[in-house]
């Protein structure tokens, strides 16, 4: 007998009084947890393969299933948690680097939860969004510094290209390849209906989705997969990916096994060959080089599209953003430490980078101090979880937010964090046709529209409570925020007062 160094993480509990042996769970679980035993013809389980994606639970017609944490436990202590022990076991089994998906799960402080929002009382009336108009539209791009006039004295109203968002929330980059065709279609259609944008990620743009171009941000990453002139011109804006919050300083790597069919065509690389995006762009070693890339993209698109530069939130983010703001970029996207990913080395995901709240406050402050805040718009992501996070981000200085994990949850994702296996039972992080078809783009798009419509309403309510009727008035309005349970230093960086002050 071989030694089983790790016990399974979950137990599959089947209520036999309810189970009608329809065997739906067998078909639903791509991980092969539920199985009919050849000999006994009975339903059996191999719980060691379960990732707790909750698919079988959600599909079971008699609600007979439950996935629970395995009660069997290591003898943990304050220093050696069960996670740490299992990681050591996995590495000593294989000699390999640990690879994880989705955002950092460790209990690093979430500053959103320590920030409280103001409301009007008595002297400054609040506004009822059901009765009065509330403006949630934002424009992303360079803003003119001063009023300009033509030689005949008339106002010069020309503007640098802008993105117009009906709600200050966009879907952030997820490549076709890391997520499915149907997931992309859901995002694209929802973005169109909502008057916002989704982002292709670095995997190119499937030809079927060119028609959503007016609501698409196309990404250019170090691997330049699927980047060509038509692609650049297809979107409403171009995003240069310099970094990602979940894995700052690390590139992307889509295994050859996922480079199949349409994914291979869209990325323009042969099937089965690894898609490697190195950590740096090998032609960008300085702000001057970045400027060259920004302007080459502007020229290739005849200066009609705003250029976004996406960077990970890291220690010197304020100085970095200041450089980026001078590179000619129109929008800076800052991706925080807790941002999601299809796959990232665990050690990087959990230890590299800083929370986006601190990064945003530091960047907004720095750009203002240098008098260049109007050169760029700021978009933050990683991770924005609800409408209150959006309102807090805008009050801290953001122009808009990026969401991805929240959008995937709306599509069915249950954060099982096994995207890298390619067997997503919800049809999201997979390319297997039988799994992909589980996600109906009609349903997916509707759920995303529902989510952001609800958020938009909540944003309006929160703004109304503060007596603010336009998102522009909220931006950088840090007086609307108070910290709770924070040190002087934290308050200082966030530029807010403590609750009660």
Report in angstroms how near the CB of residue 230 gets to ligand SF4 at its nearest.
29
Count of residues that interact with another protein, criterion CB under 8 A: 50
Residue-level length of the chain: 501
Helix axes 441-465, 387-396, angle to 10 degrees: 50
Interacting span for ligand SF4 (CB under 6 A) from 53-61, 247-255, 346-354, 465-473: 53-61
Nearer to ligand SF4, 67 or 393 (CB): 67
- 99 forms part of the interface with another protein (CB under 8 A): yes
- Cβ proximity to ligand SF4: between 102 and 269 the closer is 102
User: Which residue(s) pair with 68 in the sheet?
Assistant: 11
Pattern 210-229, another protein, x by CB under 8 A: ------------xxxx-xxx
Residues 265, 417, 432, 446: which binds ligand SF4 (CB under 6 A)?
417
* 372 part of the interface to another protein, by CB under 8 A: no
Torsion angles phi and psi, residue 276, rounded to 5: -110, 120
Using CB distances below 5 to 8 A depending on partner kind, what does residue 94 bind out of another protein, ligand SF4, none? another protein
Site string for ligand SF4, 424-463 (x = CB under 6 A): xxx-xx----------------------------------
Give the residue, chosen from 269, 317, 354, 452, that forms a contact with another protein under the rule CB under 8 A.
269
Say which DSSP state 276 is in: E
- Residue 221 Cβ vs another protein, minimum distance, rounded to whole Å: 10
CB 464, CB 130: distance < 8 Å:
no
Place of tokens 């320590």: 114
Phi/psi of residue 117, nearest 5 degrees: -100, 145
Q: Concatenate the DSSP letters of all residues of 381-443 into one string.
A: ES---SHHHHHHHHHHT-SEEEESHHHHHHHT------GGGT--TTSSS---HHHHTTS-HHH
Q: Which residues contact 434 (CB under 8 A, 6 or more apart)?
A: none
Separation of alpha carbons 429 and 102, rounded Å: 11
**Any idea which residue has 């042969």 for tokens?**
270
Site size toward ligand SF4 (CB under 6 A) is 28
Residue number, 100 or 222, with CB nearest to ligand SF4: 100
Given ligand SF4, another protein, none, residue 90, with its beta carbon under 5 to 8 Å by kind, binds another protein
Question: In angstroms, rounded to a whole number, what is the distance separating the alpha carbons of residues 472 and 399?
Answer: 8
Rounded Cα distance, 323 and 358, in Å: 18
Report the partner that residue 188 touches, choosing among ligand SF4, another protein, none (CB closer than 5 to 8 A by kind). Answer: none
What is the sign of the dihedral through the CA atoms of 387, 391, 397 and 399?
Answer: positive
Residue 255 interacts, among another protein, ligand SF4, none and using kind-specific CB cut-offs from 5 to 8 Å, with another protein
DSSP state of 271: T
**Which residue ranges make up the site for another protein (CB under 8 A)?**
87, 90-91, 93-94, 96-100, 222-225, 227-230, 232-233, 253, 255-256, 264-265, 268-270, 272-274, 276, 278, 282-283, 292, 295-297, 299-303, 343, 345-346, 418, 420-421
**Which residue ranges make up the site for ligand SF4 (CB under 6 A)?**
12, 28-29, 31, 33, 50-56, 67, 101-102, 408, 413-419, 424-426, 428-429
């Amino acid at each position: 007998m071989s030694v089983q160094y790790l016990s399974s993480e979950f137990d599959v509990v089947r209520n036999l009084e309810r189970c009608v042996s329809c065997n739906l769970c067998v078909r639903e679980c791509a991980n092969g947890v539920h199985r009919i035993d050849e000999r006994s013809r009975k339903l059996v389980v191999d719980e060691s393969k379960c990732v707790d994606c909750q698919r079988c639970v959600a599909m079971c017609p008699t609600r007979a299933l439950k996935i629970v944490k395995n009660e069997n436990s290591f003898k943990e202590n304050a220093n050696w948690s069960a996670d740490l022990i299992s990681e050591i076991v996995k590495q000593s089994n294989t000699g390999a680097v640990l690879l994880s998906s989705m955002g950092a799960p460790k209990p690093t402080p979430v500053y959103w939860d320590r920030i409280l929002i103001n409301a009007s009382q008595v002297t400054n009336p609040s506004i009822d969004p059901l009765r009065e108009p509330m403006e949630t539209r934002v424009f992303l791009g360079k803003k003119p510094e001063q009023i300009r006039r033509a030689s005949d004295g008339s106002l010069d109203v020309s503007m640098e290209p802008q993105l117009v968002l009906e709600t200050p929330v966009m879907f952030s980059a997820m490549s076709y390849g890391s997520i499915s065709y149907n997931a992309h279609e859901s995002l694209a259609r929802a973005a169109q209906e909502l008057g916002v944008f989704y982002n292709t990620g670095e995997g190119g743009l499937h030809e079927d989705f060119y028609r959503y171009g007016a609501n698409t941000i196309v990404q250019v990453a170090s691997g330049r997969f699927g980047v060509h002139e038509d692609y650049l011109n297809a979107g409403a804006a171009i995003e240069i990916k310099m970094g990602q919050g979940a894995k700052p300083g690390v590139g992307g790597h889509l295994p050859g096994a996922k480079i199949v069919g349409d994914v291979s065509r869209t990325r323009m690389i042969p099937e089965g060959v690894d898609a490697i995006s190195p950590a740096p762009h090998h032609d960008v070693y300085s702000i001057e080089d970045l400027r060259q890339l920004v302007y080459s993209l502007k020229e290739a698109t005849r200066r009609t599209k705003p250029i976004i530069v996406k960077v990970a939130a890291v220690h010197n983010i304020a100085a970095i953003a200041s450089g980026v703001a001078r590179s000619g970029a129109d929008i800076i996207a800052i991706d925080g430490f807790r941002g999601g990913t299809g796959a990232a080395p665990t050690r990087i995901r959990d230890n590299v980078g800083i929370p986006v709240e601190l990064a945003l406050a530091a960047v907004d402050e720095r750009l203002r101090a240098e008098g260049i805040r109007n050169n760029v718009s700021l978009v933050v992501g990683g991770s924005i979880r609800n409408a209150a996070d959006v309102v807090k981000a805008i009050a801290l200085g953001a122009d808009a937010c990026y969401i991805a994990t929240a959008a995937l949850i709306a599509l069915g994702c249950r954060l099982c964090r096994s995207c890298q296996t390619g067997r997503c039972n919800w049809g999201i992080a997979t390319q297997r046709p039988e799994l992909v078809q589980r996600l109906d783009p009609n349903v997916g798009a509707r759920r995303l529209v529902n989510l952001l419509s609800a958020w938009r309403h909540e944003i309006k309510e929160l703004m109304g409570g503060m007596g603010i009727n336009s998102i522009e008035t909220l931006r950088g309005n840090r007086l609307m925020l108070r910290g709770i349970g924070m040190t002087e230093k934290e308050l200082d960086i966030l530029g807010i007062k403590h609750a009660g002050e």
